[in-house]
Amino acid sequence: MSLFQRHRNILDFALSSLVRRWKKNLALLLVYTFLVFVLASVVFFTGAIKREARIVLSGAPEVVVQKLLAGRHDLIPAGYAEALKKIVGVSAVKGRLWGYYYEPATGANYTLVAGGGSQQRRGTIAIGQGVARTLQAARGDLIPLRGTDGTYVSFEVDDIFSAASELVSSDLIRISDQDLRSLFGIPDGYYTDLTLKVRNPREVFVVADKIRRVLPDTRPVLRDEILRTYDAIFDWRSGLLLVIFTGAGAAFIIFAWDKATSLSLEERHEIGILKAVGWETSEVIAMKSYEGIIISLVSFFTGTLLAYAHVFFSPALLFEPVLKGWSVLYPHFQLVPHLTVYHVGALFFLTVVPYTVATVIPSWSAATIDPDAIMRL
C-alpha cells in the first residue's frame, strides 16, 4: 500500500472516529471556533484601525508646541512663534485655535476648530455628521452656542462634513477665527497651540530638543509620537484588548492542557484495540494528529471567516459598545479591510499548532504503552 493510500485510510478512520463522538467534538468545535473568532476579530480590527490612523494622520502637524502652566495646557502667546521661527530647521509656524464645547441639552462634547486653510465666513459653521445627528441639524439651520459670557450666539450651518470623513470629523464644528475667539474669550495674540513645519524630517528630534531649551515652559508633541499613540492604543498589549487576550488565551491554555493531560477511557481503549489489531505506534499518532488537525482547521477557517465578516461587513458588534463608551456622540465608520499573510499566519500558528501538538502528546504516551495494559484499564 502506498504512503498516500495509507494516510488516506488513516484520515478516513480519524473522521469516522470524530463522527462517532460527535456531541463531544461539536461542543469542542464551537468553543474553539468562538476563541478563534474573538482573537481574529481583535487582530483584524486593530490592524485595520492602526493602518487607517497611520494613513489619515500622515497629514497631522509635524510638531505641535503646547505651553504648559502648572503642569497644564495653557494658551500660548503669538510671540512664541517668533522665537520658534528663529530655530534653525523650522520652515513655518502657525497658530491653532481649537477647544471643547459641552452642549448641555444633548450632553454631547464637540470640538471647535478655527477655519484652517479654507475661510469660514463669520456667523457660519461647518459641522460633522455626529454633530448633525445629535442636534438633528441640516444645512441652513441655525445652531445656538453658549459663549463664555453666558450669552447664546446663533450660527448658520453652511456645510456638513462628508460621512466618509467621519472618523476624523464626526464631532467637529469648524468656525471662523474671530467667532471662536469671541465664543471662548481667547484674547488676540494668543493661540491654543502652535504647529511647526520642519524643513528636513530627519531634524525633527533636534528641533524638538531646541524648542525645549529655547522655551522651557512648552512641550513639543511630534507627529511620530501622535502616530505611536494610536499604535499603543490598539496594541496587543494594551487595555481592554489585553483583557480579551488574557481571557481567551487562558481559556485556550486550560482547554489545551486538559486535552494534553487526559485521554478518555474510551479513547485509550480505542488505541489499545488499534495496536492489538496491528496498527503501529506511528500510525496511531498520525490518526490522533489528523483528529487534532481536522478540529483545528475547521475552527480556524470558520472562526477567521466569521471574524472578517464581523469586522468588515457589520458594524463590529463586539467592539461597538466598547467604542461608544459613555459618550453621547460617537462616530459611525466602516473600516477598510486590511488583511495580510502575516495576520492570517499569526492566527494560524497561535491557534492550530498548539492544539494539534496538545492532542498528539497524550496519544503518543498512550500509544507507546502495551495494548494489553491499556485494554485492561
Partner 1 sequence: MPPRKSNIFVAYVVLNLVVFSLVFVHAHRENESARPALREKAILVERLQLTDLCLFTDARYARNPSMADLHSPFQDSPMSMEHFPSGTILFPPGHLRTP
Total number of residues that touch partner 1 (CB under 8 A): 87
Phi and psi at residue 199, to the nearest 5° = -60, -50
Q: Could you tell me if 366 and 374 are in contact, meaning their C-beta atoms sit under 8 angstroms apart?
A: yes
**How many Å apart are CA 266 and CA 104, to the nearest integer?**
67
The reply on whether position 162 binds partner 1 by CB under 8 A is yes
Given a contact cutoff of 8 angstroms between Cβ atoms, the answer to whether 200 and 89 are in contact is yes
The answer to whether the CB of 196 falls within 8 A of the CB of 63 is yes
Nearest to 49 by CA among 311, 303, 245, 225: 311
Q: Does residue 15 touch partner 1 according to CB under 8 A?
A: yes
- Residue 38 binds partner 1, judged by CB under 8 A: no
Name residues contacting partner 1, limited to 93-122 (CB under 8 A). 94, 96, 100, 108-111, 113, 116-118
Q: How far apart are CA 81 and CA 191, in angstroms?
A: 10
Residue 250 CB, nearest approach to partner 1 (Å): 18
- How many other CB atoms are found less than 10 A from the CB of residue 239? 12
The stretch near partner 1 (CB under 8 A) out of 6-14, 83-91, 180-188, 368-376 is: 6-14
Between 232 and 357, whose beta carbon lies closer to partner 1? 232
SS3 of residue 347 by DSSP:
helix
Q: Which among 84-92, 245-253, 329-337, 365-373 is the span making contact with partner 1, rule CB under 8 A?
A: 329-337
**Which stretch, 81-89, 141-149, 293-301, 368-376, contacts partner 1 (CB under 8 A)?**
293-301
Q: Could you tell me which stretch among 9-17, 27-35, 85-93, 182-190 binds partner 1 (CB under 8 A)?
A: 9-17
* Nearer Cβ to partner 1 (75/339): 339
Which span (167-175, 199-207, 261-269, 355-363) binds partner 1, by CB under 8 A?
Answer: 167-175
| Residue selected from 16, 187, 213, 277 as contacting partner 1 according to rule CB under 8 A | 16
In whole angstroms, give the CA distance from residue 320 to residue 326.
12
Can you tell me which of 92, 142, 164, 273 binds partner 1, judged by CB under 8 A?
Answer: 164
**Residue 239 lies near partner 1 (rule: CB under 8 A):** yes
72: contact with partner 1 by CB under 8 A = yes
| DSSP assigned state of 176 | -
CB 98 within 8 A of CB 114: yes
Hey, which residues between 208 and 237 contact partner 1 (CB under 8 A)?
219, 221-222, 225-226, 228-230, 232-235
Residue 200, C-beta contacts closer than 8 angstroms, at least 6 positions apart: 89
Do 178 and 49 touch, CB atoms closer than 8 A? no
